[in-house]
Chain A
Amino acid sequence: MSPTFYNTFQLHIEPILRTGFLLIIGYAVARLLSSALAKALIKHLTPQQAMLQKRFVFYFVMAIFIVAVFDQLGFHIGALLGAAGILTVAIGIASQTSMSNIISGVFMIGEKPFEVGHTIKINDLQGEVLSIDLLSVKMRTLDNTLVRIPNELLIKSAIINLSYFPIRRIDLKIGVAYKENLDQVKAVMMEVADKNLHCLIDPRPSFQILEFGDSSVNLQFSAWCSRPNYTELKTTLQNEIKKAFDEKGIELPFPSRSLFAGSGTNPLPIKIIAS
């Protein structure tokens, strides 16, 4: 081996190989450590916390190795950090939307209005949260499509978290005919709720008369259930109420309109104009 080649190798190729090796090792160590930690903590943390821990460990370990790489390449770390600060400001000004999303993301993670796995509703979108990232939240809708919502939009919008509390209330709005006995209607609905195993005994279902509508007396019947049974109870309760009303002869009226000719309940005058 000639001395020239040896010198070239020592001066240029060796540091590159060393830094490449450090980066590969760093990546492997970061992946390994973050995954191992996530696995170890999965029983004690929520999916979101586990995901955040995993990412934090990964980026922290990678940062250490990248600093080591720059050190190997002969860069002065202090000067580099100063330059990075100036660069960050420049990039920040140039990419205001992204920065806004990142800052919104940090606030979202801190505020925790929802977590990974929760079902949320934003504007007209409803779905399960798959991930909360620095720039956006990814959500799987009920018809199995992926929606990416920028964090900036989330911060400005009203978010309805359907998974936050363990029990939920179902409000059924029902109109019954004016001729019906409302005490009997209430008793029938309470009996239906009592027999439905998914309907919670406590808090008790409630019965409310909302208004005297155009074609019916409008009622609201509210029943509580555990969160996973929400859809099933909503369907079974309405089905059972309809069946019970049919059995008891309680009428669920269609919208109807009565015409009056101006003087009480006299019939409309009819005149035959052609034979």
Chain B
Amino acid sequence: MKKQEAAWWGTFKLEEQNARFWEIGPMLLGIERLAKEWRLASYSSEDLEKNTIKIAQEDCPDFPKDKLQFRRYVFHHTDPTIILTPTLADRSQVSRAETSFSIPPDEHITIYVSSPVWVRIETGSGILLDEIPSIRQSDTWHGPNTREGELCYSSRTFCRTNIEELPIRQHRVLTPVVIHNHHYTPLLIEQLSLPLSHLSIFADENGGLWTEEIVIKNELHNNHIVKQSKGAPHMAKNAILISKPRFPLKPMNFISLFYSLLTE
């Protein structure tokens, strides 16, 4: 895994009447500070492969003006600092494998599933301005039928198994998913539901973003046991916590919540 550019998140100082621009993968973000208001402009490109990370003070990126989304936040007096934090989506994400695969009995594998970051924008005094997804994802439904289940975001994944093949993308967060098949029949994996709102984000020494590791055990009688590891996964070297989960889960709740995390 190669080292990435400088991180796009952190605390930034902005003088009055000044603006700053971020290119975070497919997302363009502009923030302008006026005496009494903050102005935000954002755009999400359809080019999902775009992997640029850039922060510019004067060179305004080429914003497609007709597709820009503008927002204004009015204050008595604006704070000179702005804080950008990567965060995860507010719903779970169903990642469909580009090609489904089987895990033979008594085998275990680790697959890496990525999710797009959301950008959390706060003032220096801690007032939340907005949370903007770096890409807009399609909705999908995850549940046993159309009455029970939850509304999720949809994503496609290559389900890579080799860590060396993973590109470092600061606009996507990697989740290692360890799957143990303790059943006597092969386990077919077509899609995985990641509980993003319960996961944290860690940044490793190369600038890569990670969540906690998730362990799924497919037991006899098709019982699925799901566990979430504590802290950063071991493959994220010298990782530091940069974003806490939206809704931390108690260990007991975690197991009951993910009854349908894995779809055969």
- Least CB separation from B46: chain A residue: A195
**CA of A57 to CA of B138 in the docked complex: distance in angstroms?**
46
**CA of A198 to CA of B137 in the docked complex: distance in angstroms?**
9
CB of A244 closer than 8 Å to a CB of B: no
**CA of A226 to CA of B147 in the docked complex: distance in angstroms?**
12
CB of A166 closer than 8 Å to a CB of B: yes
B94, B140, B147 — which one has the most chain A CB atoms within 10 A of its CB? B140
**Number of residue pairs across A and B with beta carbons under 8 Å?**
39
CB of B254 closer than 8 Å to a CB of A: no
In the complex, what residues of A have CB within 8 A of residue B141's CB? 167, 200, 202-203, 224
Partner of B140, one of A165, A166, A200, A229: A200
Min C-beta distance of A177 to chain B, whole Å: 31
**CA of A167 to CA of B154 in the docked complex: distance in angstroms?**
15
- Least CB separation from A196: chain B residue: B138
CB of A201 closer than 8 Å to a CB of B: yes
Min C-beta distance of B42 to chain A, whole Å: 16
CB of A274 closer than 8 Å to a CB of B: no
Partner of A197, one of B138, B146, B149: B138
A202-B142 contact in complex given A197-B136, A197-B137, C-beta closer than 8 Å: yes
CB of A199 closer than 8 Å to a CB of B: yes
**CA of A165 to CA of B146 in the docked complex: distance in angstroms?**
8
A199 touches B151 (CB 8 A): no
A166, A167, A202, A225 — which one has the most chain B CB atoms within 10 A of its CB? A202
A202-B146 contact in complex given A167-B151, A197-B136, A197-B138, C-beta closer than 8 Å: no
In the complex, what residues of B have CB within 8 A of residue A166's CB? 149, 151
A201 touches B146 (CB 8 A): no
A200 touches B147 (CB 8 A): no
Min C-beta distance of B257 to chain A, whole Å: 17
A202 touches B147 (CB 8 A): no
- Least CB separation from A233: chain B residue: B139
CB of B169 closer than 8 Å to a CB of A: no
Min C-beta distance of B15 to chain A, whole Å: 37
- The count of chain B contact residues (Cβ–Cβ below 8 Å) is 14
In the complex, what residues of B have CB within 8 A of residue A196's CB? 138
**CA of A194 to CA of B139 in the docked complex: distance in angstroms?**
10
In the complex, what residues of B have CB within 8 A of residue A199's CB? 138-139
Min C-beta distance of A157 to chain B, whole Å: 23
**CA of A165 to CA of B143 in the docked complex: distance in angstroms?**
13
For chain A residues 127-169, which have a beta carbon within 8 Å of chain B?
A: 165-167
A198, A201, A225, A226 — which one has the most chain B CB atoms within 10 A of its CB? A201
**CA of A196 to CA of B136 in the docked complex: distance in angstroms?**
11
In the complex, what residues of B have CB within 8 A of residue A194's CB? 138
**CA of A110 to CA of B63 in the docked complex: distance in angstroms?**
56
Min C-beta distance of A160 to chain B, whole Å: 16
In the complex, what residues of A have CB within 8 A of residue B182's CB? none
**CA of A201 to CA of B138 in the docked complex: distance in angstroms?**
7
For chain B residues 87-121, which have a beta carbon within 8 Å of chain A?
A: 94, 96
A201 touches B147 (CB 8 A): no
Mask, B120-162, CB within 8 Å of A = 1, is 0000000000000000111111100011010100100000000
Min C-beta distance of B38 to chain A, whole Å: 27
- Least CB separation from B140: chain A residue: A201
A198 touches B147 (CB 8 A): no
Mask, A197-224, CB within 8 Å of B = 1, is 1111111000000000000000000001
**CA of A113 to CA of B37 in the docked complex: distance in angstroms?**
48
Min C-beta distance of A190 to chain B, whole Å: 13
A198 touches B139 (CB 8 A): yes
Q: Which residues of A contact B (CB under 8 A)?
A: 165-167, 194, 196-203, 224-226, 229
Name 7 A/B residue pairs within 8 A (Cβ), A-sorted.
A166-B149, A194-B138, A200-B138, A200-B141, A201-B138, A201-B139, A201-B154
